[in-house]
Every structure is written in structure tokens, then in C-alpha cells.
Structure 1
Amino acid sequence: MTQTIFTESDVTTLRSNFDAAGQGHVFNFWDTLTSEQQQVFYNQLVDLDVTRVNQIYDTAVKGAAACASAQAASVEPLPTDVTDSVLTADASKVEEWTTLGLKLIAEGKVAVILMAGGQGTRLGSSAPKGCYDINLPSGKTLFQLQAERILKVQELARARFQVKDQVVVPWYIMTSGPTHAPTFSFFEQNNYFGLDKSNVIFFEQGTLPCLTMDGKILLEEKGKVAIAPDGNGGIYRALHSKGVIASLKERGILYSHCYCVDNCLARVADPVFIGYSASKKSDCGVKVVGKSKPEEPVGVVCLKDKKYGVLEYSEISKELSEMRRPDGTLAFNAANIVNHLFSTAFLERVPDFAHELEYHIAKKKIKHTDLESGEQIAPKAINGMKMECFVFDVFPYAHNLSVLEVARKEEFSPLKNAPGSGVDCPETSRHDILSQQSRFIEAAGGKIAAKDGGESLEIEVSPLVSYAGEGLECVKGKSILSPAVIETLEDLNKIMS
């Protein structure tokens, strides 16, 4: 935030700008503020592009109206020539993608961008969601699991291509106002989970003012605008304004794997996905899973008005959700899991069309200050809106988009809901990780047996030991005693019989 000591002339100019934009009411209580309060408020207002706020509001309102009147005919399934699936691809083809992905990683041309601005509020935690412990036997948090996957994929690339120097996959972590300081502190306290701190870069996403239904800026306090994060699509503006694009170019990065922190099964810097997208010369790659059922409440990647986009579950009709292809599969089956690969060239040109991006309206109960009485009000009914841009809003501008379907049980287990919810919650995340790692052992020819006649069949395999089931050949024909946490191959040797 700009820290400028203002003059009376500065305030006059700033007030004129807000008046001209129809937002002059934000100065209603200016004369009642102390000089210190005025300084803080001035610094907030001078950083606020009020013309852009009005533009975003106008675009969002028009977009909402267009969406409400959209016809089913404007929506089509994805063309088959832009989609592939690891579920049906030949093993040789998957290996080809893997090799290309590892080669790009070994050459230092791949980065990871993590969207980690969310708090664990619904989980009963005020900490950043990435700090959450899903009760694995090891006690590892989401951040630690993802850091260890980066460490392992660096090692795999280095070994595959016999790189003498260290292989580096830089990790750019997007935080938000409430999560920035605690996220940084968490990584410091944990020594960056073994990663070189110079290759872990934190940057903060932007915010937008909260508005009334007719587009007027709400005041949280007499000297403070009510603000909210600008959605995960705010990543594009932040990448430019926080110097991330410049950093990517300086490092020679060609592709960035972008994903959301709450997926405990996310294959970070996934060589298969990287190699697949690169082989297609994609500027935008999208990883999806098949819908579990027609009515599953997920957005689907499709064509909207002949352009790539995501049809939210609230927008899709029963008829469209149940439509099937000639082979019997769902026509709208590509469930969006917020997992993408972007070329640096694509990210670099986002400002060329940023003004066209459609922001989405979230109607909310927003605490605010009454402009006449100055009293703070906690409304009992919806009184305003927050505006968000989604990460998939750039899809229509991709020159070459490709979509890769992966197995849900191997790569998608989101953490959304409170403990005990039974779906997308800590218990399901824990179950999905442990089930996957048991499959790793069994696929390598091992058998899991409980210690001393017990019933527990829980095996946790550290990402440092195996990224996606590889490197476990030593278990073939052996029994692995459970429960166990395997942090090294030596740990594994100790519990085999």
C-alpha cells in the first residue's frame, strides 16, 4: 500500500476523482476523523482505482444479466480433439508425456503457482487452509505434503536426465490479506519443509471494495472502505503487479502449474500434465475428472458461445447435465478441479484482455457504516455484493487450450467442509490419501498386513519416497506391517516380512 503524507491539495484532487466517479460519499466522515485516521484512510483511497471499480461493476452486472437470459443452445460439450484421458491413453503415450514433463523440469522451465488465499474458517480454524492437519498418522499439513511432492519431482527429473546441478521448481504462493503473514511465518517455522527459501516466493492477491446493489462503495468504518479478496482469478493481476511475471521470465520459466491448496491429492508439478500440455503446444492446459453423477454440483469445462469456459453447476439445466454422447458417456462430463497449466507467454498477455474479464457477483450480508448516522450496521438480510474473478475466466482467450482427464481417486480430494460433514472434509481427505498409498504398495506387488493380529491397514507413504507409486519395487512379494508411516526406504525395509 502506498504510504504518502498527503496535503490539502492531494485530498482535493482525490475527492474530485471519487466525485467524478459517483463515489464521493466515501468522504462523508472525513472531517470527523483524526489526522492519523485521515492518513490511513487516504492511503487506502489513493491505492483504489475507482474508475476500474466502476468498470468491474458495470461488466459484472451486464454479465449476470446475460447469464440469466442465456439459452441452452449457446452451450456445447468440449470438442473431442482438445481432450485426452490418462484413463484410456496407451501406457506408451502416458510415458511419453511423463518424459517430456520431466525433461522440462530438469531444464528449469517449470514453476508452480499455488492459490492459497483461503482460511480454514469452515474447518473451524482461523489459520490458512494450507496449515491444516487432516489427521494423517504423520501429522503432515497440506503445505508439507505439497512441498514434499516438489522435492520428489525435482529428484525424479534430476535422476532421469542425470543433471549434475540441483533441479529447481520454484514455488510461487499466492496469499490474501488475512493469510499472508501467517503463511510466511508457518514456512519459516518449518524451514520451508526442506525447500530452498530463495525458491519459495510469496505474493498477495488483490482486493476490491464491497458495493451496494447499485454499485456504491460501502464503508466498513467511517475511515475505512469495506473490502474483500478479488477471487482466485485475481491471480492474474497479482502476477503482474507483484513482479511474478518478471521473475518467471528472469528464471527462464516456460510453463507454470497452477492449482488450489485444498486438494490433498494434487500432483504438484505433475510431469504427465506438463508433458501432455507441452506436447499439444497449449498456452492453457486444464486438468479435469469425470463427473461422479449427472447432478454432481461441480462446474464443467465446455464451450460457451463457441469459446472455452466453465459452466457452473448453478447454471446447468437438468437436460444438459443428463445429455449423453453416442457412446453413453455424459456430454458435459469434464468436472473442473481448479488445476491448470499456463505458458508464461499466455500469462504475460493477460493485461491485453484483462478489461474484458467478467467479474461475478456474490450477494452478501456486509457489515457497513450508515452514511447518515455513522452507525455500524450488521444487516440481517443481503445488502450488498462482493465481486470476484475466477481463475477460469481467461479460458476464452487461450489460443490453444487442451483438456486432460485424470482419475478422481488418484488426484482429486478437496477439503471444503467441517469435520464430520461426510463429504469433502478432513475425514474424506485422510481416507483418500491413505487409500491411495495402500494402492501404491499393492500395485508394486506388496501386501499389507496388520501388526499383531490387529485390524488397522493404514500405510502412509511419504511423497519423499514415492511421488505417484514409483520406486516401490522392493515390496514385491513382501508383506508390509500396518499401521506405519514410511518416510524413507529404510523405514520400509524395517516393516517388510
Structure 2
Amino acid sequence: MHILSEVEFRFASSLIGLGQGHLFGHWPAPGFQDDDKHRFLNQAMHLNEDYPGGLREYIMNARQLLLKSKHGISSNAEFVPEIADGFSVEPRSTEILDFEREGYANMHQCAFVLVAGGLGERLGYSGIKVALPAEITTGRCFLQYYIDNVLALQSICDMSPGQKLPFIIMTSHETHQKTLDLLVRNNYFGADRSQFILVKQGEVPAIVDTGGHLALNSDDNYQLMTKPHGHGDVHRLLYTTGVAKNLVDAGYKWIYFFQDTNVLAFKPLPACLGISAKHNLDVNTMAVPRKAGDACGAIMKLRRPDGTSLINNVEYNEVQDLLGDKMDYDPKLGESPYPGNTNQIIFKLSSYLQALVESNGKVPEFVNPKYENSDKTSFQTPTRLECMMQDFPKVFPEKMKPEISFVKMKRWFSYSPVKNSVAKGVSLASVNLPPMTASTGEADVYICNRELLRIAGVEVQDAAVTVFNGIPIVAGPRVILAPSFAVGVGDVIHKVKGGRISSKSTLIVSGPDVFIEDLDLDGTLIVKAVPGARVKLTGLTVKNKGWALEQLKSGGSRVPPEELRVRGYQLRKYEQRVLEFTEAGDYEVRT
């Protein structure tokens, strides 16, 4: 071992002392493959530095959690589940307007965190998920939608001179450069480069068995196999990089976490932030109605043996085991009494930072091995410890007495993630559960905007259900209300009055000062206005051939792009009317 430095020798010895001698069993005598030996120890020492407490802590945690898993002991075993009290807000209610006003009044003190560490392979898309078009009517990708929303909020907030709302993105080894390239290639989608902070998530060693033995890569036995640790790493990153403290020092009071493929994530934000501010909530999770079997976690009140409790998510695969004989259905509600978790969470920054300091940014971990044998000693493939963003409320010290709650809103208004393949979506649709595919995510964008128009008094005729790729959707009318035009309910009510839209129509509206009254649309209308262009459409009638979704044809020499294949349709543009206002001024269109 004399070829190793003193530091390397001590570190290798510590690994052997932790039962990891198998990592060195294939090493030849000194003088052979010495560079590979240094390379291995360099990687292992970096992993040791990245994990709180080092690899010793990681291995000990793994053994403890694997022992519990082997004996079927849940990470929530200590808790007794109860129905949690929270807020429920209807998009059609008048109270949502009051909450939105309160939210807008606090929005200038809010930072945004997008968790974007995943590729789209599970969806049938080879790129990063945030680059996938959220809908093909305008072609906006998810990342552009999120940035457009932040810019829209920024434009209507009471901002200090020169202030830009901070936008933090957690990437991974697989997505970091691709995310940066997407931003640069599109000139940050109109945002200021200075308002972006990218933090890259690391990985943790893979584990081969219940003894906590670390895995070597199958194609390189001088490299540890590593895997993502889970999106809970975002909290430690905000702590170790100093981002959370810097935000507090800069006067920000709120921080909003959301995930990569839910284009509706900003619709409920103004009202939910208003509720957080009005009730001084430390943690506020956006929730939706949930059915038993739905693949989203459940928000529960979890009571500890000492009588204390917290409101937190329970993952969907653990819900029934934790409930035991309790019903996951309320006949009065027609749904589960435990709302669905959306992973859209608002934290009060001051208490969030305090909890980060108390916990060193570390979130409770779990392990989910796929066992190879009945005695549960080895795995089909190596596993690893994981952590989840939504489990951070568990680290709030009881002495802080945190105010933790949730706001339940309609799913059509707030939550339609794209996270499943077509095959998985077909399976879910067959049992009347949300498919959560690219096609249903897109359809739900149109549904949300149609419902908002209905709230504003517009008569909207829905198209018939059409099946694409085996998944039924209501494909029209396709309504795109760009964030620059409207974010919340109140924006739409203020800018739209009455009118009629046929089932075959497509309506695209962008611009902060566009007002529409009694529009009669049977076809496609595109309205684009720059800031400063005050546009009023009054009694306008538009009738043309419009645009239509058409089934993708199989076969042939031309292969459709991935973003269409995952949907099963393409957009055919026949005829449209375009009203574009490129200069500031007052405009009125009546015919």
C-alpha cells in the first residue's frame, strides 16, 4: 500500500473498517494499475466530503434503514395518521380574489426554486424534461412557461428599482449542462441572467445488499457506482451554498418550491402565498382532491407517541399500510379525506433557514430496494438512500412550533404533472385515474384556461372526447392565456367579459394590457401585444377554418419528432387571424 499517500491510506483503511474490504479485493500489487487506485480513492473521498457525516454515516444509515425494510418497518411507523385541518379554496369563489390580492402584495418578497434533475426517458423523450413542449399550440417548453410566469409576476409586483425575482434551479449531473444550454440558447427566455442561480445535485454510492456493501461499476471496478440521492437534496444545497441565507439577508420572506413538469404550478400561487402571508404559515403545501390509488402522496396529520404532531406528506405506496383499517374514502366528499400532495410548497424563509441550520440541511432518508430473494438479503439491482423535498417539515424542531398547513384547490386549476409513459397512462386511464402523460398535461392546460374564461362569463363549448395513443382527452377548444396576460383568477375576470368560443377554436392571448369583451370566436385567433400596448377587443367576431389536432400516421419514411410521438397527434394549421401590436399606444378592434 506504499503507493498511497498518508491521507489515501487512512481513508482506505477506514473503508475496510466499515466492512468495505471487497472494494479492494481485486487490487494487484503496487506498481500495477496505480493510477486507477488513486482515481478510485479520489472519487470515494469526494463522495465522503459531499455526504453529511461522510461515508461512515452513509453506510451506518443504510444498514439501519435496510434492516427496517427487511422486516417491513415503515419510515412512518412511529406515527398515527389523522385527518389534517387546512384551507380549501374554490377558483370560482370570491375569497380567492382576496387571497390573490394579498399574494400579489407579497410576491416581491418571494424566491422561486425549480427542482429539475430529471431526464424525460420515462416519458419517451430523450431530452431534459423542462425542455419538453408543455403544449404544441405555441410550442412553449416547461422551462419557458415557468420563466414567463416569474416575469409576469415581476412586472406587476411592487419591486425595488433594479430588483429581479430570484429563480433557483436544482440540476443533476445529467441535466446541468443541458439546462444551462437551454437557457443560453434562448437568451434566458427574456429574463435577466443575473436572477438565475443553478445548484447541481450530487450523487451517493449504490448499495448491493442488506449489509450495506457499496457497489462497484460493472464496467469499471475502480469506480463506485453512484445514483441520485433524491430531490430532497435541494434543501442541503440551498444551505451549503449560502443561497438561503443570502435570500434572507436580501429581505426575501418566502420561497416557493415546484417540480419540473406541472405547467399549472403558478396558477394557485398568488392565492396560496396570500394565505401563507395572512396566516403567517411556516410551511404551506398546495394540495388537490385525491382518490384512493392515485399515484400522489397524501397530506396527513401525523401524531407522534409523545402527543406532538405535524402535517406532512405520506408517499402513495405507504398510505394504505399506515392507515390500516381506516378508510381512504369519505362518502360525503366523494374522495379521500387525505388530500393529494403536489410537491408545490411555500416556506417562510426565516423559519426555513432556521430549520436548515438546525438540521444541517439534511432531510430524512428512506430506502426502496427491489429484493432478489425471499430472505431479503440481496437486490435485483443496487439500491441507494434517497430523500424527498416534501419531507423537510419533519426536520423543523418542535421548539420552533412551526405553523404547517395546506391549501386544497381543484386539480384542473393547479396540478397536472407530466411524468408517465404512454403505456403507463393507458393503464391509469383504464381505472379512471389521472394518466399524467404529455397529452393529458397539454389537454389540462386548455381545460384550465377554458374554465377561467367560463368564470369570466364566456360561453365555451367543449369538443368531443378524442382518443390519442389509447388515452382519451378533450382536445378543444385550445385556449392559451399566456402568463403575460393572466396568472391568477382575478387577472382573467378583470380582462375578459362575456363572449362565445366554439369547440373547434384556438385562442392565444399574450400581453399585459389586452382586454376582451364579447368575443365571438369560431376558428383561430392570435392576439399579441407588447408592454405599453393597451388593446381592447369589443364585440369582435372571428370565423375561419382554424387549427386542428390530427392523429399521427404510423409507418412511412418520416419519423415524427419525440414531442409528437409521446402525444400521438400533430397540429394542423389551416387558417387564423392574427392581431399583433408591436408599439405602445391605445388600440380598439371591433371587427
**Using the alignment, how far apart are the partners of 2:403 and 2:246 within structure 1?**
24
Mean alpha-carbon deviation: is it higher for 327-336 or for 297-306? 327-336
**Using the alignment, how far apart are the partners of 1:55 and 1:382 within structure 2?**
22
Partner of 2:565: none
Contact in 2 for aligned 1:173/1:203 (Cα 8 Å): yes
Contact in 2 for aligned 1:257/1:268 (Cα 8 Å): no
Partner of 2:551: none
Query: 1:433-460, CA deviations, whole angstroms, 9 ceiling, x for partnerless residues?
Result: 122223333433445699xxxx963232
- Relative distance call for 1:461 and 1:285 in structure 2 (3 A) is same
Partner of 2:484: 464
Question: Superposition pairs for residues 325-474 of structure 1, below 5 Å?
Answer: 327-328=332-333, 330=335, 332-348=337-353, 349-353=355-359, 357-364=363-370, 382-398=380-396, 399-419=402-422, 421-422=425-426, 423-446=435-458, 457-469=477-489, 470-471=491-492, 472-473=495-496, 474=515
- Relative distance call for 1:404 and 1:98 in structure 2 (3 A) is same
Query: 1:233-273, CA deviations, whole angstroms, 9 ceiling, x for partnerless residues?
Result: 11122222233223323432221000111212111792211
Question: Superposition pairs for residues 23-42 of structure 1, below 5 Å?
Answer: 23-31=20-28, 34-42=33-41
Contact in 1 for aligned 2:84/2:299 (Cα 8 Å): no
Contact in 2 for aligned 1:206/1:238 (Cα 8 Å): no
**Using the alignment, how far apart are the partners of 1:217 and 1:304 within structure 2?**
34
**Deviation of 1:54 (Å):** 1.7
**Of the two, which has the highest radius of gyration?**
2
Query: 1:392-427, CA deviations, whole angstroms, 9 ceiling, x for partnerless residues?
Result: 222234421011111100110010112463411110
Residue 118 of structure 2 is aligned to residue 118 of structure 1: yes
Mean alpha-carbon deviation: is it higher for 463-472 or for 258-267? 463-472
- Structure 1: which amino acid aligns with 2:174? P
- Relative distance call for 1:492 and 1:114 in structure 2 (3 A) is farther
Residue 140 of structure 2 is aligned to residue 137 of structure 1: no
Mean alpha-carbon deviation: is it higher for 270-279 or for 473-482? 473-482
**Deviation of 1:355 (Å):** 9.0
TM-score by length of 2: 0.71
**Deviation of 1:90 (Å):** 5.9
**Using the alignment, how far apart are the partners of 1:127 and 1:492 within structure 2?**
40
**Using the alignment, how far apart are the partners of 2:405 and 2:367 within structure 1?**
28
Partner of 1:332, secondary structure, is coil
Partner of 2:501: none
- Structure 1: which amino acid aligns with 2:393? F
**Using the alignment, how far apart are the partners of 2:80 and 2:526 within structure 1?**
48
- Structure 1: which amino acid aligns with 2:296? V
Higher relative contact order, structure no. (Cα contacts within 8 Å, ≥ 6 residues apart): 1
- Relative distance call for 1:28 and 1:332 in structure 2 (3 A) is farther
- Relative distance call for 1:411 and 1:456 in structure 2 (3 A) is closer
Partner of 1:204: 200
**Using the alignment, how far apart are the partners of 2:351 and 2:292 within structure 1?**
33
Contact in 2 for aligned 1:100/1:275 (Cα 8 Å): yes
Partner of 2:175, secondary structure, is helix
Residue 100 of structure 2 is aligned to residue 87 of structure 1: no
Contact in 2 for aligned 1:59/1:359 (Cα 8 Å): no
- Relative distance call for 1:269 and 1:186 in structure 2 (3 A) is farther
Contact in 2 for aligned 1:449/1:480 (Cα 8 Å): no
Residue 11 of structure 2 is aligned to residue 14 of structure 1: yes
Contact in 2 for aligned 1:255/1:341 (Cα 8 Å): yes
Partner of 2:293: 295
Query: 1:297-339, CA deviations, whole angstroms, 9 ceiling, x for partnerless residues?
Result: 33211123343332222223384343438x5565633111111
Contact in 2 for aligned 1:283/1:346 (Cα 8 Å): yes
Partner of 2:563: none
Unaligned stretches of 5+ residues in structure 2: 49-53, 373-377, 397-401, 427-434, 463-474, 497-514, 538-577, 580-589
- Relative distance call for 1:196 and 1:59 in structure 2 (3 A) is farther
- Relative distance call for 1:29 and 1:104 in structure 2 (3 A) is farther
Contact in 1 for aligned 2:248/2:350 (Cα 8 Å): no
**Deviation of 1:468 (Å):** 2.6
**Deviation of 1:72 (Å):** 9.3
Contact in 1 for aligned 2:236/2:362 (Cα 8 Å): no
- Structure 2: which amino acid aligns with 1:338? N
Partner of 1:475: 516
Contact in 1 for aligned 2:267/2:487 (Cα 8 Å): no
Contact in 2 for aligned 1:113/1:258 (Cα 8 Å): yes
Partner of 1:3: none
TM-score by length of 1: 0.83
Mean alpha-carbon deviation: is it higher for 200-209 or for 354-363? 354-363
- Structure 2: which amino acid aligns with 1:224? Q
% identical equivalent positions:
20
**Using the alignment, how far apart are the partners of 2:166 and 2:270 within structure 1?**
15
Mean alpha-carbon deviation: is it higher for 354-363 or for 236-245? 354-363
**Using the alignment, how far apart are the partners of 1:65 and 1:492 within structure 2?**
66
Partner of 1:477, secondary structure, is strand
- Relative distance call for 1:225 and 1:487 in structure 2 (3 A) is farther
**Using the alignment, how far apart are the partners of 1:387 and 1:73 within structure 2?**
20
- Relative distance call for 1:90 and 1:77 in structure 2 (3 A) is farther
Partner of 2:574: none
Unaligned stretches of 5+ residues in structure 1: 1-5, 367-379
Partner of 2:575: none
Partner of 2:299, secondary structure, is strand
Match of 2:171 among 160, 172, 175: 175
Partner of 1:244: 243
Partner of 1:352, secondary structure, is helix
**Deviation of 1:35 (Å):** 4.8
**Using the alignment, how far apart are the partners of 1:338 and 1:248 within structure 2?**
21
Partner of 1:101: 103
Partner of 2:573: none
Give the superposed CA RMSD.
3.3
- Equivalenced residues, count: 464
Query: 1:193-235, CA deviations, whole angstroms, 9 ceiling, x for partnerless residues?
Result: 1111110111012311110222111011211111111111111
Contact in 1 for aligned 2:91/2:409 (Cα 8 Å): no
**Using the alignment, how far apart are the partners of 2:40 and 2:103 within structure 1?**
48
Partner of 2:151: 151
Partner of 2:483, secondary structure, is coil
**Deviation of 1:66 (Å):** 7.9
Partner of 2:199, secondary structure, is strand
**Using the alignment, how far apart are the partners of 1:154 and 1:193 within structure 2?**
14
Partner of 1:374: none
**Deviation of 1:190 (Å):** 0.7
Contact in 1 for aligned 2:83/2:338 (Cα 8 Å): no
**Deviation of 1:347 (Å):** 3.1
**Deviation of 1:484 (Å):** 4.2
Contact in 2 for aligned 1:150/1:268 (Cα 8 Å): no
Contact in 1 for aligned 2:84/2:338 (Cα 8 Å): no
- Structure 1: which amino acid aligns with 2:359? F
Contact in 1 for aligned 2:129/2:260 (Cα 8 Å): yes
- Relative distance call for 1:219 and 1:336 in structure 2 (3 A) is same
Partner of 1:193, secondary structure, is helix
**Using the alignment, how far apart are the partners of 2:268 and 2:33 within structure 1?**
51
